[in-house]
């Protein structure tokens, strides 16, 4: 079952409709993130299915997005002809080839939104016609259940209205924040890669639970519900995470014993270094 529209999309109401009224959305690439964006937009009624065209060379991916009621085609150029907002949702390693194919079909009225990691705005603008309007977005995989986190950075020629349109689209799938592009490497490390850190924690919780005698299915259900509940509590609380953690950690209790073991293994330092290494790798990819 699809998740309910995120609160931000619900609260904007008519303003979401206003900024996108009459707009036509094109998805170049119909992978899971593009499908998640289409689902969120349709779930929040941000745009009707008739206003969305998606392309992909893979018939299975075209069938997946077509099942949502949107138009699915093989040609990227067809997407550009049918759209004024174009989301570039292909793998970074093929984006250069895709952009070379799109350049002759691009029009001044197009707004290009890229979700490709490692492609800075300067490189996107250089690959597109002069003065193209570009917005770079770093989303994450919880978009697939309407609980994504997306950071948006505006290019040199994109307007405030363009940014509002982009925030309305990605706000249909979760939380959005507007940042300077220089911050996107940190965003990549914290929220872009962040779901993998949480899934790793779940793996550890399940492994330990099974070692202590829990049935694997029960251990997974308990871990998943705990992570989901803790995330919701963190999101809704006015308290900082360290305060919420302190409240669970009774002196001499089980949680304190667990954190003594984590501290002995210098887990905090290792995790912080790991996230910083992810940010450094994002910078390396952007410079390549």
Across the range 30-46, mean pLDDT stands at 94
Per cent of the chain over pLDDT 70 is 94
User: Is the pLDDT at 13 greater than 50, yes or no?
Assistant: no
Please give the pLDDT value at position 106: 95
The domains located in the chain, with CATH, are: 7-181 (3.40.50.720), 192-287 (1.10.3730.10)
pTM score: 0.88
Q: Is the pLDDT of residue 287 over 90?
A: no
pLDDT digits (tens, 9 = 90+) for 62-100: 999 999 999 999 999 999 999 999 999 999 999 999 999
Q: Is the pLDDT of residue 2 over 50?
A: no
Count of Cβ atoms closer than 10 Å to residue 60 Cβ: 8
The predicted pLDDT at position 118 comes to 87
The pLDDT, as a whole number, for residue 1 is 37
CA distances 29 to 79, 91, 98, 231, Å, are 10, 8, 10, 31
Q: How far is CA 12 from the centre of its chain?
A: 20
Q: What is the pLDDT of residue 126?
A: 96
User: Cα 172–174–176 angle (5° rounding)?
Assistant: 95
Q: What percent of the chain has pLDDT over 90?
A: 90
pLDDT at 15: 46
33 neighbors 115 (Cβ within 8 angstroms) = yes
Question: What is the structure's pLDDT at 288?
Answer: 60
Helix ranges, the chain (H):
7-12, 14-20, 32-43, 59-66, 76-82, 92-102, 121-127, 160-171, 184-187, 194-211, 216-236, 241-248, 254-264, 267-287
- Contact between 144 and 118 under an 8 Å Cβ cutoff? The reply is no
What is the per-residue pLDDT for 10?
A: 38
CA 279 to chain CA mean position, Å: 16
Which tens digits make up the pLDDT trace of 164-215?
Answer: 999 999 999 999 999 999 999 999 999 999 999 999 999 999 999 999 999 9
Q: What is the mean pLDDT of the chain?
A: 92
- pLDDT tens-digit map of 97-142: 999 999 999 999 999 999 998 899 999 999 999 999 999 999 999 9
């Amino acid at each position: 079952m699809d998740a309910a529209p995120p609160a931000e999309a619900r609260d904007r109401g008519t303003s979401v409709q206003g900024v996108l009224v009459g707009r036509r959305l094109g998805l170049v690439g119909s992978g899971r993130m593009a499908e998640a964006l289409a689902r969120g937009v349709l779930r929040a009624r941000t745009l009707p299915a008739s206003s969305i065209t998606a392309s992909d060379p893979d018939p299975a991916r075209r069938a997946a997005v077509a099942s949502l009621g949107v138009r699915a085609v093989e040609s990227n150029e067809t997407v550009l002809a049918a759209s004024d907002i174009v989301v570039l949702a292909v793998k970074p390693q093929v984006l250069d080839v895709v952009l070379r194919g799109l350049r002759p079909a691009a029009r001044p009225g197009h707004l290009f939104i890229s979700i490709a990691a490692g492609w800075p705005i300067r490189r996107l603008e250089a690959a597109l016609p002069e003065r193209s309007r570009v917005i770079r977005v770093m989303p994450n995989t919880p978009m697939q259940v309407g609980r994504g986190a997306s950071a948006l950075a505006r290019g040199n020629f994109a307007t405030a209205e363009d940014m509002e349109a982009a925030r309305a689209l990605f706000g249909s799938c979760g939380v959005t924040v507007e940042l300077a592009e220089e911050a996107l490497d940190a965003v990549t490390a914290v929220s872009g890669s962040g779901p993998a850190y949480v899934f790793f924690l779940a793996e550890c919780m399940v492994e330990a639970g099974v070692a202590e005698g829990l049935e694997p299915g029960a251990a997974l259900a308990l871990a998943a519900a705990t992570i989901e509940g803790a995330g919701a509590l963190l999101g809704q609380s006015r308290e900082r995470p360290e305060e919420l953690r302190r409240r669970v950690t009774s002196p001499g209790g089980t949680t304190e014993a667990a954190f003594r073991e984590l501290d002995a293994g210098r887990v905090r330092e290792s995790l912080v270094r790991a996230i910083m290494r992810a940010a450094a790798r994002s910078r390396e990819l952007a410079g390549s």
